[in-house]
Chains A and B, each alone.
Chain A
């Protein structure tokens, strides 16, 4: 009985039970949301829900993979990670702090916190420059050591 189920379904019955519980709770959550939110709000939340996954999986992810592939020739001179690591760190900081760095919410920030966002772009650029400079220094030291006979 159970093996016939497994052949048809593709996994053991527990697998189905777990997923049905997951969808039941998700359905309940969407229903509760619909109690308080009107249709446009629900649509916007749904669009954001799908959009963030699509943007990461199908846009940002592939773009980052492509950028990484373009950097590959640097491996021949042993510099790949010396560029890749600070670039990833800098991109991560921009990804997280983009609203501040790009001054996307200057108006809100000014009225709510009484502060401006004009300092953040300079700070991000400075951190990026320091990361690349330290990485270049480490690369240079490594090259010098490699050239000098032990």
Chain B
């Protein structure tokens, strides 16, 4: 840029007019986008995968939210502002016992596996970001705003999800808050995007046969015919990869991520989850399985878990205080039940203890609609928690004293912990000290 051109009004005006008409150059020049693979067909293949996959993520995500029974308040309610966004809530069931394990394993594993598909989809439509003019009409302006919402929300969901399962809380807000509200922005923008683009996707998918396209070699790969949305390069380079190759790279990325993660949710495959934080083994003793809050983190004095420990039951007919040996002399039952974390990992173990409903009966609380569980934990978001009446009455809900035939370890909640079938792991309060039947936060 020279000084004379800048100071001359006609030069400046001419320049501005040129930029307004033709764009500032660089990526704003359509001809700078040269991949021969970009085009409506490839974008639509990725879109179809995402349409199905993201619907599953939305459903499993909303179910996971319901699994906390947020209406019980306290630590069950991690997003108190939810209002009508939680219109779908229902009392979470207690069977089948694998319900939350499968729901959350699907949510997290599928979410991870869709990362390369989302990134490939963004790559495939990247020229649209630099479209010139940026807003050709009010319709375009609004649509671009909705695209910002869909891109920002899906990337935020991916980033918070992937970081949360690795204990990296660098955002300065609660995972629950960020993930829940971003999910609703995503649902809004995703629904609109599908509503507006579904016909284009169907038309583009029909423009060529998938099977035939999978037989085209790199040498024979040429750009799709120019399209109304300007995805296809006007000046494509020769292909260095076929569309089959590109889809194989994306699909291979998804399958690779899946293969390296599935072990966190399937006990016998655990050693294969090489990069997942929950792939690591604790050893092979009866208490050597995944921990999500160690005893050391709770600031409980070790003496509080010793002979001085008492379980206090409070109910309509009064209060009962029990020593651990008194609990052990009650009717013991054993149940094989999973612990399944919101982070997607899970593990199934054999727990032994007293049925929660029998403890409820001791204080006349068997028909109450909740039980408020207090832990010895000092502070911590889940040191108190509420279970529903349905969970209290479920035959398989235990106050567990042992696991795999031995006493619980301190890390797994000694002297006693809750085990509820089908519920998120964090609802299985450890180091229980008080059960208030009919109580809540």
Is B88 interfacial (CB 8 A cutoff)? no
Q: State in angstroms the CA–CA spacing of A139 and B178 once bound together.
A: 45
Contact among A49, A72, A97 with B182 in the assembled complex (CB-CB below 8 Å) = A49
Please determine whether A26 and B83 come into contact, CB atoms closer than 8 angstroms. no
For B164, give the chain A residue with the smallest CB separation: A99
Please determine whether A96 and B168 come into contact, CB atoms closer than 8 angstroms. no
Binds A, one of B152-160, B307-315, B388-396: B152-160
Contact among B81, B115, B140 with A92 in the assembled complex (CB-CB below 8 Å) = B115
Q: How far, in Å, is B195 (CB) from chain A's closest CB?
A: 5
Chain A 1-44, CB-CB to B under 8 Å as 1, else 0, gives 00000001111000110110111011011101111110011001
Please determine whether A114 and B81 come into contact, CB atoms closer than 8 angstroms. no
Is B274 interfacial (CB 8 A cutoff)? yes
Q: How far, in Å, is A127 (CB) from chain B's closest CB?
A: 7
Is A75 interfacial (CB 8 A cutoff)? yes
Task: Indicate the member of A11, A113, A120 with the most B CB atoms within 10 Å.
Answer: A113
The interface size of chain A toward B, counting residues with CB under 8 Å, comes to 66
Please determine whether A101 and B177 come into contact, CB atoms closer than 8 angstroms. no
Q: Which residues of A contact B85 (CB under 8 A)?
A: 28-29, 32
Q: State in angstroms the CA–CA spacing of A10 and B135 once bound together.
A: 11
Known: A18-B192, A93-B275, A114-B291. A53 touches B148 (CB 8 A): yes
Q: State in angstroms the CA–CA spacing of A49 and B189 once bound together.
A: 14
Known: A52-B155, A57-B122, A99-B167. A41 touches B177 (CB 8 A): yes
Q: Which residues of A contact B184 (CB under 8 A)?
A: 25-26, 29, 32
Q: State in angstroms the CA–CA spacing of A104 and B274 once bound together.
A: 17
Sampled A-B contacts (21; CB under 8 Å): A19-B196, A22-B188, A22-B192, A32-B85, A37-B81, A37-B173, A44-B173, A45-B156, A52-B159, A53-B155, A85-B249, A89-B256, A96-B162, A99-B166, A99-B168, A100-B277, A111-B294, A112-B297, A113-B291, A114-B411, A123-B275
What 4 pairs between A and B have smallest CB-CB spacing? A10-B137, A36-B81, A10-B139, A35-B81
| Given A9-B138, A114-B282: 17 more A-B contacts, CB < 8 Å | A26-B184, A29-B184, A45-B182, A48-B171, A49-B152, A56-B155, A57-B126, A72-B240, A85-B249, A89-B252, A92-B256, A93-B275, A96-B162, A112-B292, A114-B291, A115-B280, A123-B275
